[in-house]
């Protein structure tokens, strides 16, 4: 597979001023010669006429960039064609590249090659994928940190410490009869316990990085006619959901996106909670309850002029925020504490917006240190932690070494480096046993 030379449109599909075609692989230089006759100077944009190598037909006047490996994104010989962005130009150049022996790239294949050539680790590759998907500024910052190697450095430093501990533990096993520093075995256990606590602290971030990556779900719940759809529309500033004076208007879950302090939030408007009148409404109520269960935050909406209903009161608790709507009308007795708003007059909506922003910020990371962003990272780190826990109770040095090796493998799975071989060098280097 790595012998192939691949190409793909790096810019978006469709008509545009410029389209960027990216090429990578051992035949890149040959392709440049086939289509453009002369290979440009490395890393200098050069204007060239491109021709089909079979028919000689002129295809475009384009800017070419030549990146000889290994100083390229993929680590291989690669090139970029900055074409005029018409669909026929792009199709013609793609055809010419195939005629000259290249093939279209698979999704993610350029970054996969970069990983295989040691240009980046798996977390940085994931960061690049997230950067392309980022919708908000905070998501962009997190993705850029990760693409820049913030997680790779953190996990790399943990792997290095585990490797050093494993080296000590191995030495203890191998050279048990020799003059080794006293208490070495205990030292290893103590250092492993410190590392375990650090990993646990990193895990105890409440899923902030994952939340920012995936976005928050806020469900709007309440009795029919409480004004849930009116609130959704007021918050997103457009008529996303149908509003009417008839109870039971909303049946399907209506979703709208909102950027709250850089955190992408999905607001889900739901069917009013009550004993449903027909099967369609019953399905709507079922979906509303389902969404309530999945939500990071539940907005419980009460109509100020109605006594609070039992169905909505039952949802109060952690992760719920009470909103009393229609405060342009007199407030009924027994209303729970909450934010007072009127979707109709606009009163209190700024305060609600600010409160939602604060709730989003408290649940997702917006800045600062490296945060894990994927369940994959979390699972592997939990694995490492449990192996380090095993180490503390392991009765013999061999089992301690095994636990360290397993913890190291777990961390290696996150970055894509395993590297247990490095241990042997360290054994003999660190202790100068000289056998």
**Checking phi first, is residue 390 left (phi over 0); if not, alpha (psi -120 to 50) or beta?**
alpha
- Tell me if 22 is assigned to a ligand binding site: yes
What whole-number distance in Å separates Cα of residue 428 and Cα of residue 422? 11
Q: Is 225 annotated as a binding residue?
A: yes
Residues in touch with K ion (CB under 5 A): 225, 244, 249
For ligand GTP, give the closer residue by CB, 91 or 277.
277
The residue of the chain with the least Cβ separation from K ion equals 249
Which tokens sit at 73?
């994104």
The secondary structure of residue 42, as a DSSP letter, is B
Decide whether 190 or 277 has the Cβ nearer to ligand GTP. Answer: 277
178 in a known ligand binding site? no
230 annotated to bind ligand: yes
Cis status, amide bond into 70, omega within 30 of 0 = yes
DSSP assignment of 301-368, as one string? EEETTSPPPHHHHTT-STTEEEEEE-TTSPPPTTPPS-EE--TTT-TTHHHHHHHHHHHHHHHS--SS
Site string for Mg ion, 186-225 (x = CB under 5 A): ----------------------------------------
358 vs 261: CA distance, rounded Å: 8
Nearest distance, CB of residue 349 and Mg ion, angstroms: 17
Minimum distance, C-beta of residue 359 to ligand GTP, in the bound complex (Å): 21
Q: How far is the CB of 149 from Mg ion (least distance, A)?
A: 47
Q: Which residues bind ligand GTP (CB under 6 A)?
A: 222, 224-230, 243-245, 247-250, 271-272, 325-326, 328-329, 342-344
CB of 101 closer than 8 Å to CB of 5: yes
Report in angstroms how near the CB of residue 342 gets to ligand GTP at its nearest.
4
Annotated binding residue 271: yes
Q: Closest approach of Cβ 299 to Mg ion, in Å?
A: 13
Whichever of 199 and 295 has its CB closer to ligand GTP, that residue is: 295
Interacting partner of 226 out of K ion, ligand GTP, Mg ion, none (Cβ under 5 to 8 A depending on kind): ligand GTP
Q: Is 250 in the site for Mg ion (CB under 5 A)?
A: yes
- 111 touches Mg ion by CB under 5 A: no
Question: Is 228 labeled as ligand-binding?
Answer: yes
Contact 411, 158 (CB under 8 A): yes
| 145 in Cβ contact with 117 (< 8 Å) | no
Residue 80, annotated as binding a ligand = yes
Least Å distance between CB 87 and ligand GTP?
Answer: 44
**Contact flag: residue 229 with Mg ion (CB under 5 A):** yes
Tracing tokens 């019953």 back to the chain, one arrives at 282
The four Cα atoms 117, 119, 124, 129 give a dihedral, to 10 degrees, of: -70
Q: Which backbone phi and psi does 64 adopt, to 5 degrees?
A: -115, 145
Is 386 annotated as belonging to a binding site? no
For the beta sheet containing 6-9, the strands, ordered from the edge strand earlier in sequence to the opposite edge, are 46-51, 58-67, 78-84, 18-24, 6-9, 103-104
**312 sits near Mg ion (criterion: CB under 5 A):** no
Q: How far apart are CA 252 and CA 359, in angstroms?
A: 26
Q: Which residues are annotated as a binding site for (6S)-5-formyl-5,6,7,8-tetrahydrofolate?
A: 22, 80, 119, 435
Q: Which residues are annotated as a binding site?
A: 22, 80, 119, 225-230, 244-250, 269-272, 342-344, 435
Residues of the shown chain interacting with Mg ion in the complex, contacts defined by CB under 5 A: 228-229, 249-250
Q: Which residues are annotated as a binding site for GTP?
A: 225-230, 244-250, 269-272, 342-344
């Amino acid at each position: 597979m790595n012998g192939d030379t691949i190409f793909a449109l790096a810019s978006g599909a469709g008509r545009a001023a410029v389209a960027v075609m990216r090429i990578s692989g051992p035949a890149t230089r040959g392709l440049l010669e086939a289509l453009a006759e002369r290979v440009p100077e490395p890393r200098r944009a050069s204007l060239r006429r491109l021709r089909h190598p079979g028919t000689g037909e002129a295809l475009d006047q384009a800017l070419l960039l030549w990146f000889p490996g290994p100083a390229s994104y993929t680590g291989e010989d690669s090139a970029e064609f900055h074409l005029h962005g018409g669909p026929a130009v792009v199709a013609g150049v793609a055809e010419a590249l195939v005629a000259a022996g290249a093939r279209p790239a698979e999704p993610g294949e350029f970054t996969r090659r970069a990983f295989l050539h040691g240009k980046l680790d798996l977390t940085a590759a994931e960061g690049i994928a997230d950067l392309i998907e980022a919708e908000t500024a905070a998501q962009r910052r997190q993705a850029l940190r990760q693409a820049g190697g913030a997680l790779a450095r953190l996990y790399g430093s943990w792997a290095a410490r585990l490797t050093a501990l494993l080296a000590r533990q191995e030495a203890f096993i191998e050279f048990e009869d020799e003059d080794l520093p006293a208490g070495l075995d205990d030292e290893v256990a103590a250092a492993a316990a410190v590392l375990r606590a650090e990993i646990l602290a990193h895990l105890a971030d409440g899923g902030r990085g994952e939340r920012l990556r995936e976005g928050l779900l806020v469900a709007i719940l309440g009795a029919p006619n409480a004004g849930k759809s009116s609130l959704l529309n007021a918050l997103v500033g457009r008529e996303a959901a149908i509003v009417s004076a008839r109870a039971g208007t909303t049946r399907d879950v209506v979703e709208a996106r909102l950027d709250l302090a850089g955190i992408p939030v999905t607001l889900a408007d739901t069917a009013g909670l009550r004993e449903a009148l027909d099967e369609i409404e019953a399905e709507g109520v079922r979906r509303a309850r389902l969404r309530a269960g999945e939500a990071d935050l539940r907005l419980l909406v009460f109509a100020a002029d109605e006594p609070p209903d039992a169905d909505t009161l039952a949802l109060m608790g952690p992760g719920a925020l009470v909103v009393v709507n229609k405060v342009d009308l007199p407030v009924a007795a027994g209303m729970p504490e909450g934010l007072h708003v009127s979707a109709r007059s606009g009163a209190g909506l700024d305060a609600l917006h600010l409160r939602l922003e604060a709730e989003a910020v408290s649940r997702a990371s917006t800045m600062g240190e490296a945060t894990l962003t994927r369940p994959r990272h979390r699972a592997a780190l939990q694995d490492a932690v449990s192996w380090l826990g095993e180490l503390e109770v392991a009765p013999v040095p061999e089992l301690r070494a095994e636990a360290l090796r397993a913890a190291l493998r777990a961390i290696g799975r996150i970055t894509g480096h395993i590297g247990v071989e490095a241990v042997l060098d360290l054994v003999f280097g660190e202790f100068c046993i000289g056998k």
